[in-house]
Protein backbone atom coordinates (compact mmCIF):
# COMPACT_ATOMS: atom_id res chain seq x y z
CA UNK A 1 0.00 0.00 0.00
CA UNK A 2 1.10 3.56 -0.74
CA UNK A 3 -0.12 6.26 1.63
CA UNK A 4 -0.36 9.77 0.21
CA UNK A 5 -0.45 12.68 2.64
CA UNK A 6 -1.95 15.88 1.26
CA UNK A 7 -1.31 19.18 3.06
CA UNK A 8 -2.97 22.53 2.55
CA UNK A 9 -1.57 24.02 -0.65
CA UNK A 10 -3.13 25.09 -3.91
CA UNK A 11 -1.21 22.29 -5.69
CA UNK A 12 -3.30 19.69 -3.81
CA UNK A 13 -5.50 19.23 -6.88
CA UNK A 14 -2.50 17.85 -8.81
CA UNK A 15 -2.17 15.05 -6.27
CA UNK A 16 -5.47 13.64 -7.57
CA UNK A 17 -3.60 12.80 -10.80
CA UNK A 18 -0.73 11.25 -8.85
CA UNK A 19 -3.16 9.06 -6.87
CA UNK A 20 -5.08 8.13 -10.00
CA UNK A 21 -1.93 7.10 -11.94
CA UNK A 22 -0.57 5.04 -9.04
CA UNK A 23 -3.95 3.35 -8.65
CA UNK A 24 -3.99 2.50 -12.37
CA UNK A 25 -0.49 1.02 -11.98
CA UNK A 26 -2.07 -1.44 -9.53
CA UNK A 27 -1.15 0.12 -6.17
CA UNK A 28 -3.54 0.21 -3.25
CA UNK A 29 -3.71 3.86 -2.15
CA UNK A 30 -4.74 5.41 1.16
CA UNK A 31 -5.16 9.18 1.28
CA UNK A 32 -4.55 11.19 4.45
CA UNK A 33 -5.42 14.91 4.35
CA UNK A 34 -4.68 17.66 6.83
CA UNK A 35 -7.65 19.80 7.82
CA UNK A 36 -6.30 22.66 5.69
CA UNK A 37 -5.93 20.40 2.64
CA UNK A 38 -9.66 19.64 2.76
CA UNK A 39 -10.26 23.38 2.10
CA UNK A 40 -8.49 23.06 -1.26
CA UNK A 41 -9.77 19.70 -2.51
CA UNK A 42 -12.76 17.71 -1.43
CA UNK A 43 -11.91 14.39 0.24
CA UNK A 44 -14.67 12.91 -1.91
CA UNK A 45 -12.61 13.53 -5.07
CA UNK A 46 -9.77 11.44 -3.68
CA UNK A 47 -12.03 8.80 -2.13
CA UNK A 48 -13.81 8.13 -5.40
CA UNK A 49 -10.51 7.58 -7.19
CA UNK A 50 -8.74 5.40 -4.64
CA UNK A 51 -11.90 3.64 -3.39
CA UNK A 52 -11.07 4.11 0.29
CA UNK A 53 -12.41 6.77 2.66
CA UNK A 54 -9.94 9.61 3.23
CA UNK A 55 -8.50 9.99 6.73
CA UNK A 56 -8.29 13.51 8.08
CA UNK A 57 -9.36 13.08 11.69
CA UNK A 58 -6.96 12.05 14.43
CA UNK A 59 -9.68 10.57 16.60
CA UNK A 60 -11.46 8.21 14.25
CA UNK A 61 -13.10 5.23 15.91
CA UNK A 62 -11.58 2.12 14.50
CA UNK A 63 -14.01 -0.74 14.75
CA UNK A 64 -11.24 -3.28 15.29
CA UNK A 65 -9.82 -1.30 18.18
CA UNK A 66 -6.59 -0.68 16.20
CA UNK A 67 -4.55 2.46 16.63
CA UNK A 68 -5.01 3.63 13.11
CA UNK A 69 -1.90 5.73 12.54
CA UNK A 70 0.35 2.96 13.85
CA UNK A 71 -1.42 0.32 11.76
CA UNK A 72 -1.27 2.46 8.64
CA UNK A 73 2.45 3.17 9.20
CA UNK A 74 3.05 -0.59 9.28
CA UNK A 75 0.83 -1.37 6.30
CA UNK A 76 2.30 1.29 4.01
CA UNK A 77 5.24 0.42 1.74
CA UNK A 78 5.89 4.10 1.17
CA UNK A 79 4.59 7.44 2.36
CA UNK A 80 4.36 10.32 -0.13
CA UNK A 81 3.55 13.85 1.04
CA UNK A 82 2.45 16.01 -1.87
CA UNK A 83 2.14 18.91 -1.72
CA UNK A 84 4.11 19.55 1.47
CA UNK A 85 3.71 23.08 2.82
CA UNK A 86 6.45 25.05 4.61
CA UNK A 87 4.39 24.67 7.78
CA UNK A 88 4.22 20.90 7.50
CA UNK A 89 7.97 20.61 6.76
CA UNK A 90 8.69 22.82 9.80
CA UNK A 91 6.50 20.61 11.97
CA UNK A 92 8.33 17.48 10.80
CA UNK A 93 11.70 19.03 11.51
CA UNK A 94 10.58 19.88 15.02
CA UNK A 95 9.08 16.43 15.59
CA UNK A 96 5.60 17.85 16.19
CA UNK A 97 2.81 15.30 15.93
CA UNK A 98 -0.46 17.16 16.39
CA UNK A 99 -2.67 15.66 13.68
CA UNK A 100 -3.09 12.34 11.92
CA UNK A 101 -0.56 12.97 9.13
CA UNK A 102 2.28 14.30 11.31
CA UNK A 103 1.71 11.45 13.78
CA UNK A 104 1.79 8.94 10.92
CA UNK A 105 5.12 10.32 9.67
CA UNK A 106 6.75 9.91 13.07
CA UNK A 107 5.45 6.35 13.32
CA UNK A 108 6.53 5.39 9.79
CA UNK A 109 9.76 3.49 9.20
CA UNK A 110 9.28 3.12 5.44
CA UNK A 111 10.66 5.49 2.76
CA UNK A 112 9.06 8.94 3.02
CA UNK A 113 9.02 11.15 -0.07
CA UNK A 114 8.25 14.82 0.37
CA UNK A 115 7.25 17.08 -2.52
CA UNK A 116 7.33 20.69 -1.28
CA UNK A 117 5.24 23.31 -3.08
CA UNK A 118 5.04 26.94 -2.02
CA UNK A 119 5.89 30.52 -2.97
CA UNK A 120 9.53 30.87 -4.10
CA UNK A 121 10.45 33.33 -1.34
CA UNK A 122 9.15 30.89 1.22
CA UNK A 123 11.00 27.99 -0.43
CA UNK A 124 14.31 29.84 -0.46
CA UNK A 125 13.91 31.18 3.08
CA UNK A 126 16.85 29.79 5.08
CA UNK A 127 14.48 28.46 7.73
CA UNK A 128 12.85 26.24 5.12
CA UNK A 129 16.11 25.27 3.38
CA UNK A 130 17.68 24.34 6.72
CA UNK A 131 14.63 22.30 7.69
CA UNK A 132 14.83 20.44 4.38
CA UNK A 133 18.59 19.85 4.70
CA UNK A 134 18.05 18.48 8.21
CA UNK A 135 15.25 16.15 7.14
CA UNK A 136 17.33 14.93 4.17
CA UNK A 137 20.15 14.05 6.55
CA UNK A 138 17.63 11.93 8.48
CA UNK A 139 16.74 9.93 5.37
CA UNK A 140 13.67 11.78 4.06
CA UNK A 141 13.64 11.92 0.24
CA UNK A 142 12.77 15.30 -1.26
CA UNK A 143 11.63 16.11 -4.79
CA UNK A 144 12.92 19.49 -5.90
CA UNK A 145 10.02 21.79 -6.90
CA UNK A 146 9.83 23.08 -10.48
CA UNK A 147 10.49 26.65 -11.55
CA UNK A 148 7.60 28.49 -13.20
CA UNK A 149 4.56 30.69 -12.73
CA UNK A 150 3.26 30.16 -9.22
CA UNK A 151 -0.33 30.40 -8.02
CA UNK A 152 0.45 33.70 -6.29
CA UNK A 153 1.49 35.24 -9.65
CA UNK A 154 5.26 35.20 -8.90
CA UNK A 155 7.67 33.38 -11.18
CA UNK A 156 10.25 31.24 -9.44
CA UNK A 157 10.97 27.91 -7.77
CA UNK A 158 8.14 26.32 -5.82
CA UNK A 159 5.76 24.55 -8.23
CA UNK A 160 4.80 20.98 -7.46
CA UNK A 161 6.59 18.85 -10.12
CA UNK A 162 4.44 17.12 -12.72
CA UNK A 163 2.46 14.07 -11.58
CA UNK A 164 4.64 11.93 -13.92
CA UNK A 165 7.84 13.04 -12.13
CA UNK A 166 6.34 12.27 -8.73
CA UNK A 167 4.96 8.90 -9.84
CA UNK A 168 8.35 7.96 -11.37
CA UNK A 169 10.15 8.64 -8.08
CA UNK A 170 7.53 6.75 -6.07
CA UNK A 171 7.72 3.70 -8.36
CA UNK A 172 11.55 3.79 -8.48
CA UNK A 173 11.73 4.04 -4.71
CA UNK A 174 9.40 1.08 -4.23
CA UNK A 175 11.40 -0.95 -6.76
CA UNK A 176 14.67 0.06 -5.15
CA UNK A 177 13.43 -1.36 -1.85
CA UNK A 178 14.36 -4.65 -3.47
CA UNK A 179 17.88 -3.20 -3.71
CA UNK A 180 19.86 -3.34 -0.47
CA UNK A 181 19.39 -0.14 1.56
CA UNK A 182 22.90 -0.02 2.94
CA UNK A 183 23.60 3.71 2.51
CA UNK A 184 20.74 5.07 4.63
CA UNK A 185 21.87 7.92 6.86
CA UNK A 186 24.98 8.64 4.76
CA UNK A 187 25.53 11.77 2.70
CA UNK A 188 27.37 11.23 -0.61
CA UNK A 189 28.82 14.28 -2.36
CA UNK A 190 29.43 13.35 -6.00
CA UNK A 191 30.88 15.56 -8.73
CA UNK A 192 30.28 14.89 -12.40
CA UNK A 193 30.81 16.18 -15.90
CA UNK A 194 33.32 18.61 -17.32
CA UNK A 195 34.06 22.13 -16.17
CA UNK A 196 34.06 24.98 -18.68
CA UNK A 197 36.56 27.82 -18.44
CA UNK A 198 35.35 30.98 -20.12
CA UNK A 199 37.59 33.02 -22.44
CA UNK A 200 35.07 35.65 -23.42
CA UNK A 201 31.23 35.86 -23.44
CA UNK A 202 31.09 33.36 -26.34
CA UNK A 203 33.95 30.91 -25.90
CA UNK A 204 35.33 28.49 -23.38
CA UNK A 205 37.85 25.68 -22.89
CA UNK A 206 36.49 22.31 -21.80
CA UNK A 207 36.84 18.55 -22.25
CA UNK A 208 34.82 15.56 -23.54
CA UNK A 209 33.41 14.41 -20.20
CA UNK A 210 29.65 13.68 -20.44
CA UNK A 211 29.01 13.09 -16.72
CA UNK A 212 27.68 9.53 -17.21
CA UNK A 213 29.84 7.96 -14.49
CA UNK A 214 28.97 10.59 -11.85
CA UNK A 215 25.26 10.44 -12.69
CA UNK A 216 25.32 6.61 -12.49
CA UNK A 217 27.02 6.85 -9.07
CA UNK A 218 24.43 9.39 -7.90
CA UNK A 219 21.50 7.28 -9.07
CA UNK A 220 22.81 4.06 -7.49
CA UNK A 221 23.72 5.79 -4.20
CA UNK A 222 20.24 7.34 -4.04
CA UNK A 223 18.59 3.98 -4.73
CA UNK A 224 20.67 2.41 -1.95
CA UNK A 225 19.30 4.98 0.49
CA UNK A 226 21.98 7.70 0.56
CA UNK A 227 21.31 11.41 0.71
CA UNK A 228 23.06 12.46 -2.52
CA UNK A 229 24.39 15.91 -3.40
CA UNK A 230 25.40 15.95 -7.07
CA UNK A 231 27.61 18.86 -8.12
CA UNK A 232 27.57 18.85 -11.88
CA UNK A 233 29.32 20.72 -14.64
CA UNK A 234 27.28 21.30 -17.82
CA UNK A 235 25.93 17.99 -19.21
CA UNK A 236 22.93 16.80 -21.21
CA UNK A 237 21.86 14.37 -18.50
CA UNK A 238 18.78 14.56 -16.29
CA UNK A 239 19.50 14.44 -12.56
CA UNK A 240 18.30 11.19 -10.98
CA UNK A 241 15.10 11.73 -8.98
CA UNK A 242 15.58 12.34 -5.28
CA UNK A 243 19.12 13.71 -5.71
CA UNK A 244 20.01 17.33 -4.80
CA UNK A 245 21.70 18.75 -7.90
CA UNK A 246 23.91 21.83 -7.81
CA UNK A 247 24.84 23.20 -11.25
CA UNK A 248 28.27 24.70 -11.74
CA UNK A 249 30.26 25.84 -14.75
CA UNK A 250 33.94 26.48 -13.97
CA UNK A 251 36.44 24.68 -11.76
CA UNK A 252 36.32 27.65 -9.38
CA UNK A 253 32.50 27.30 -9.11
CA UNK A 254 32.94 23.60 -8.41
CA UNK A 255 35.64 24.33 -5.82
CA UNK A 256 33.31 26.67 -3.87
CA UNK A 257 30.31 24.32 -4.14
CA UNK A 258 32.30 21.26 -3.01
CA UNK A 259 33.78 23.10 -0.02
CA UNK A 260 30.34 24.35 0.96
CA UNK A 261 28.93 20.81 1.23
CA UNK A 262 32.11 19.03 2.40
CA UNK A 263 31.48 19.17 6.15
CA UNK A 264 28.07 17.54 5.93
CA UNK A 265 29.34 14.73 3.67
CA UNK A 266 30.42 11.26 4.72
CA UNK A 267 31.78 10.21 1.33
CA UNK A 268 33.03 12.38 -1.54
CA UNK A 269 33.40 10.88 -5.02
CA UNK A 270 35.09 13.23 -7.47
CA UNK A 271 34.27 11.84 -10.88
CA UNK A 272 34.21 15.26 -12.55
CA UNK A 273 36.82 16.03 -15.19
CA UNK A 274 38.00 19.31 -13.70
CA UNK A 275 40.00 21.65 -15.96
CA UNK A 276 43.52 21.98 -14.60
CA UNK A 277 43.91 25.50 -16.01
CA UNK A 278 41.71 28.51 -16.75
CA UNK A 279 42.42 31.58 -18.89
CA UNK A 280 44.35 34.16 -16.89
CA UNK A 281 42.12 36.95 -18.17
CA UNK A 282 38.43 36.81 -19.00
CA UNK A 283 37.65 39.26 -21.77
CA UNK A 284 34.34 41.11 -21.27
CA UNK A 285 34.17 41.65 -25.01
CA UNK A 286 34.38 39.07 -27.78
CA UNK A 287 38.08 38.50 -28.61
CA UNK A 288 38.80 39.73 -32.18
CA UNK A 289 40.57 37.60 -34.78
CA UNK A 290 43.51 40.00 -35.07
CA UNK A 291 46.86 38.39 -35.90
CA UNK A 292 47.59 34.95 -37.35
CA UNK A 293 48.63 33.60 -33.98
CA UNK A 294 46.95 34.04 -30.64
CA UNK A 295 48.72 33.40 -27.36
CA UNK A 296 46.50 32.43 -24.47
CA UNK A 297 47.87 32.60 -20.96
CA UNK A 298 46.48 30.06 -18.50
CA UNK A 299 46.67 29.87 -14.73
CA UNK A 300 46.29 26.78 -12.59
CA UNK A 301 42.96 25.93 -11.01
CA UNK A 302 42.99 24.74 -7.41
CA UNK A 303 43.10 20.95 -7.10
CA UNK A 304 39.76 20.46 -5.36
CA UNK A 305 40.40 16.88 -4.36
CA UNK A 306 43.83 17.68 -2.94
CA UNK A 307 42.31 20.50 -0.88
CA UNK A 308 39.80 18.00 0.56
CA UNK A 309 42.56 15.44 1.16
CA UNK A 310 44.63 18.01 3.05
CA UNK A 311 41.75 19.01 5.34
CA UNK A 312 39.59 15.90 5.67
CA UNK A 313 38.73 14.60 9.10
CA UNK A 314 36.37 11.66 8.74
CA UNK A 315 35.31 11.66 5.11
CA UNK A 316 36.04 8.83 2.68
CA UNK A 317 37.55 10.39 -0.45
CA UNK A 318 37.37 8.78 -3.86
CA UNK A 319 39.20 10.17 -6.89
CA UNK A 320 39.28 9.24 -10.53
CA UNK A 321 42.40 9.06 -12.66
CA UNK A 322 42.07 9.07 -16.42
CA UNK A 323 45.44 7.97 -17.73
CA UNK A 324 46.91 7.04 -21.08
CA UNK A 325 50.24 5.60 -19.78
CA UNK A 326 51.53 3.89 -16.59
CA UNK A 327 48.01 3.52 -15.22
CA UNK A 328 48.75 1.90 -11.86
CA UNK A 329 51.87 3.89 -10.99
CA UNK A 330 50.26 7.25 -11.86
CA UNK A 331 47.08 6.38 -9.98
CA UNK A 332 49.05 5.29 -6.89
CA UNK A 333 50.95 8.56 -6.91
CA UNK A 334 47.66 10.51 -7.06
CA UNK A 335 46.13 8.40 -4.29
CA UNK A 336 49.03 9.32 -1.99
CA UNK A 337 49.54 12.96 -2.99
CA UNK A 338 45.82 13.76 -2.64
CA UNK A 339 45.41 11.66 0.56
CA UNK A 340 42.59 9.55 -0.94
CA UNK A 341 40.99 6.37 0.33
CA UNK A 342 40.26 5.01 -3.13
CA UNK A 343 41.19 5.85 -6.68
CA UNK A 344 39.38 4.60 -9.77
CA UNK A 345 41.88 4.51 -12.62
CA UNK A 346 41.01 4.03 -16.24
CA UNK A 347 43.15 3.86 -19.32
CA UNK A 348 41.27 6.14 -21.67
CA UNK A 349 42.98 4.56 -24.69
CA UNK A 350 41.24 1.18 -24.04
CA UNK A 351 38.17 0.29 -26.13
CA UNK A 352 35.10 0.43 -23.87
CA UNK A 353 36.63 2.84 -21.34
CA UNK A 354 36.39 6.56 -20.86
CA UNK A 355 34.33 9.59 -21.73
CA UNK A 356 30.87 9.33 -23.25
CA UNK A 357 30.54 5.53 -23.18
CA UNK A 358 28.02 3.54 -21.15
CA UNK A 359 30.75 1.05 -20.15
CA UNK A 360 34.07 1.44 -18.39
CA UNK A 361 37.15 -0.68 -17.64
CA UNK A 362 38.91 0.37 -14.47
CA UNK A 363 41.37 -0.61 -11.80
CA UNK A 364 40.42 0.38 -8.26
CA UNK A 365 43.26 0.95 -5.83
CA UNK A 366 42.77 1.59 -2.12
CA UNK A 367 45.01 3.29 0.42
CA UNK A 368 45.94 -0.10 1.92
CA UNK A 369 47.60 -1.08 -1.35
CA UNK A 370 44.87 -3.41 -2.66
CA UNK A 371 44.60 -3.36 -6.45
CA UNK A 372 41.39 -4.64 -8.02
CA UNK A 373 41.13 -4.97 -11.77
CA UNK A 374 37.50 -4.67 -12.81
CA UNK A 375 36.49 -6.13 -16.19
CA UNK A 376 34.52 -4.10 -18.75
CA UNK A 377 31.04 -3.45 -17.38
CA UNK A 378 28.20 -0.93 -17.46
CA UNK A 379 28.74 2.31 -15.57
CA UNK A 380 25.70 1.40 -13.38
CA UNK A 381 27.28 -1.90 -12.28
CA UNK A 382 30.63 -0.23 -11.80
CA UNK A 383 28.94 2.47 -9.70
CA UNK A 384 27.67 -0.23 -7.34
CA UNK A 385 31.15 -1.76 -7.01
CA UNK A 386 32.63 1.66 -6.18
CA UNK A 387 29.86 2.25 -3.61
CA UNK A 388 30.54 -1.19 -2.06
CA UNK A 389 34.17 -0.21 -1.67
CA UNK A 390 33.30 3.08 0.02
CA UNK A 391 31.40 1.09 2.66
CA UNK A 392 34.31 -1.30 3.11
CA UNK A 393 36.66 1.68 3.59
CA UNK A 394 34.30 3.26 6.16
CA UNK A 395 34.39 0.08 8.24
CA UNK A 396 38.22 -0.20 8.07
Contact status: 150 vs ligand C5P (CB under 6 A): no
Q: What DSSP string runs through 13-59?
A: GHHHHHHHHHHHTT--EEEEE-TTHHHHS-HHHHHHHHSSPPB--TT
Contact status: 309 vs ligand C5P (CB under 6 A): no
Contact between 193 and 235 under an 8 Å Cβ cutoff? The reply is yes
Contact status: 319 vs ligand C5P (CB under 6 A): yes
**Position among 221, 321, 382, 393 found at the interface with ligand C5P (CB under 6 A):** 321
Least CB distance from residue 209 to ligand C5P, whole Å? 10
Contact status: 310 vs ligand C5P (CB under 6 A): no
Pick out residues in 248-307 that bind ligand C5P (CB under 6 A): 251, 270, 272, 274, 276, 301, 303-305
- The site map against ligand C5P for 172-211 (x = CB under 6 A) is -------------------x--------------------
Q: Tell me whether residue 183 or residue 321 sits nearer to ligand C5P (CB atom).
A: 321
Packing angle of the helix pair 100-107, 86-94 (nearest 10 deg): 50
Contact between 29 and 50 under an 8 Å Cβ cutoff? The reply is yes
From 20-28, 70-78, 135-143, 319-327, give the range in contact with ligand C5P by CB under 6 A. Answer: 319-327
* Pick from 224, 176, 160, 170: nearest CA to 3: 170
Contact status: 212 vs ligand C5P (CB under 6 A): no
Contact between 359 and 377 under an 8 Å Cβ cutoff? The reply is yes
Q: Nearest 10 degrees: CA dihedral of 266, 271, 273, 274?
A: 0
Bridge partners, 198 (sequence order): 204
Q: Tell me whether residue 252 or residue 377 sits nearer to ligand C5P (CB atom).
A: 252
Q: Tell me whether residue 88 or residue 262 sits nearer to ligand C5P (CB atom).
A: 262
Contact between 286 and 321 under an 8 Å Cβ cutoff? The reply is no
Contact status: 389 vs ligand C5P (CB under 6 A): no
Contact status: 317 vs ligand C5P (CB under 6 A): no
Q: Tell me whether residue 146 or residue 323 sits nearer to ligand C5P (CB atom).
A: 323
Least CB distance from residue 337 to ligand C5P, whole Å? 8
Using CB under 6 A as the binding criterion, the count of chain residues that bind ligand C5P stands at: 14
User: How far apart are the C-alpha atoms of 371 and 335, rounded to whole Å?
Assistant: 12
User: How far apart are the C-alpha atoms of 349 and 243, rounded to whole Å?
Assistant: 32
User: How far apart are the C-alpha atoms of 44 and 54, rounded to whole Å?
Assistant: 8
Q: Tell me whether residue 6 or residue 257 sits nearer to ligand C5P (CB atom).
A: 257
CA 249 to centroid of chain Cα atoms: 18
| Binding footprint of ligand C5P on the chain (CB under 6 A) | 191, 251, 270, 272, 274, 276, 301, 303-305, 319-321, 334
Amino acid sequence: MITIGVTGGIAAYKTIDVASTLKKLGHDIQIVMTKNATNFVSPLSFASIVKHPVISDMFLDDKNGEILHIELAKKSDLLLIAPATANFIGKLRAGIADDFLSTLVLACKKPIIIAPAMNSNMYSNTIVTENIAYLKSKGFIFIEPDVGLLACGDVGIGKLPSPETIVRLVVNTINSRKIKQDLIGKTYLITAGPTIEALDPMRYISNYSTGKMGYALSEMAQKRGANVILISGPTNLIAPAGVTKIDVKSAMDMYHAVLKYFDQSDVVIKSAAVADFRPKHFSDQKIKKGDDTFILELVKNPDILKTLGDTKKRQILVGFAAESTDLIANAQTKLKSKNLDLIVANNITNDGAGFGLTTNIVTIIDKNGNIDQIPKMSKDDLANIILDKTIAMSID
